[in-house]
Structure 1
Amino acid sequence: MDVILHVGAHRTGTTTLQQTLHHNHQRLKANKVEYWAPQRTRAGLFDGLIKAADRVSPQVTAQARRANQQIEDELQALSKAGVKTLIVSEENMLGSIPASVTTERLYPDAVRRVARLRPAFADRCARIGLAIRSYDQLWTSMISFTVKRSGRVPDADQIAGLVDQPRRWRDVIRELRVAFPRAEIQVWPFEGMVDAPHDVIARLTGRSLPVPLDPVEVVHNPAPDIHALRDAVERGPCAGHLTRLAEWNSGRWMPFTEPQRTKMRADYAEDIAWLRSDPGPAIRYIESPEDLVGPTEEERGVRHDEGQRRVG
């Protein structure tokens, strides 16, 4: 049985992909594909495994050992039941939104977090999936969620720190390669693939699906709009700083200036150029739905229904 780890990232259509898996569970099951989503991984299955490095205590280590054994038992049971592919979709494998915003680093301890999953999945992990997004939009969405939760608005220095933070998507991809050197890594851009989660699932499985998966009809887990952010700030410790939320467009807050956004988009363009060139062995960049059909006979059978492609 092959295991596919869909590690996220946050704010890149991950919830939509998970909802598509859930909506099509029976159809996937009929094709010998099973999935674990956060409802499963966060209900005790991953206890001790998706912890920040500075929170790993002897108790957490003991939890991780028990989790590894439970996962092994579950994998064996699925294999005996005839399952050929398991998709594990859990964005917290890379880290958390608050940790990234607070440290002003893109998933600062991703390599240590992912390494903690290696004992459970290394022998079976055939593929890792990662969606990426332009830094200006990614950080805006991440900050919006932290503001809504805490009521704290980043100051100008914190915003500048996010613009200049040194970690790039290619650093995260290289760390995934270190943690799982034998797995193929599939990377796709949020901007070009958010409306095709069902096609991404087909590509991740590497298997032909007889019929297209049904799309989900609702945009899930959108970033909070400016009104929700203002309400959160009014109730929080930064109530006197509502002017920081003054810059918004069509109900969405944009904390970065245009020069800052230009710099962040240029950084993202460098990542895309790297992915388009020669990022290394077994790293596959999927730029658009037309790139989803791979070179093998099995993958050539994946059907694409243009009428099904809509935002999920």
Structure 2
Amino acid sequence: MAELKTQRFALPTGVELDVTLGGDPANDAIFFLHGFPESHRTWRHQMPVLAEDYFVVAPDQRGFARSSKPAEVSDYAPENTVADLIALADALGVDRFTLVGHDWGGAIAWMAALKHPERVARLIIVNAPHPLIFQKTLFDDMAQREASQYIRAFRNPALEAHIESIGLEQFFDGSFMKHTDFAKIGDEKAVYLDQWGQPGAMTAMLNWYRASSIVVPAMDETPERPAWLNGPFPVLQMPVLVIWGTGDKALLPCQLDGLDALCVDLKVAKVDSGHFVPWENPGAVTDAISEFLKARVPA
């Protein structure tokens, strides 16, 4: 398998990102975006394999690991993280690329494909909801609304004080470990605790939730629906693969309903896994990506 290296990039968006790279830069590029509460290591099983045939790029996104951690909540608004992606591609001299995203990385990938379709040749989403479907289900599907109440907790400004009072490891065991199989993490726990323990990291990671405009109603309220839910929504023209871990407790199968109307060329691959699919069932994810890339050659 190909060797990977990490390089620091100072971007015109005002942040410095640690970026893991592999493969021949002359090959077609694949950019990988991780989600909460991880880093480029989300893709540790896929990148060495795919680097044999592609140029693979995986940043530690702003706020995570040792990348820059801007101070304001607004710094983590999705348009800023999309801008980081485009700036990184420009810095690497990559015009068009395949974009892969999981969790929050998937949310940014959806937005990047919608805002910059000229740059995204193929889109691969791993357990990350389409923004239109997600917002609709938070109003109309009470099971999804209940599963998403953690977002309201993450937006609570008192959460960091609570984490400090119980300790980072207890928070890790009581939150993250409830959503995955401990045996599949193995030695990675020490990596997580090191990255979460970087100065300002926990607040920065939580600020992704606080900066999002997605409305998460409480279980007993019915706020006004965002007006954009009733208007036309852009349909993605590039090939799209959605890989979905069917055991995800936070994002329910309703997130797949209606996707075919929002993507003209959609393939859905269901995988036996929980939410953290890329390392809970790595072989299935790598195979699905490889097969999709071979079948969907970009124009």
Same fold (TM over 0.5): no
- Give the TM bin, normalised by the shorter chain: 0.3 to 0.5
Which has more strand, going by share of residues?
2
TM-score by length of 1: 0.35
Which structure has the higher relative contact order (CA within 8 Å, separation 6+)?
1
Which has more helix, going by share of residues?
1
Between structure 1 and structure 2, the one with the greater Rg is 1
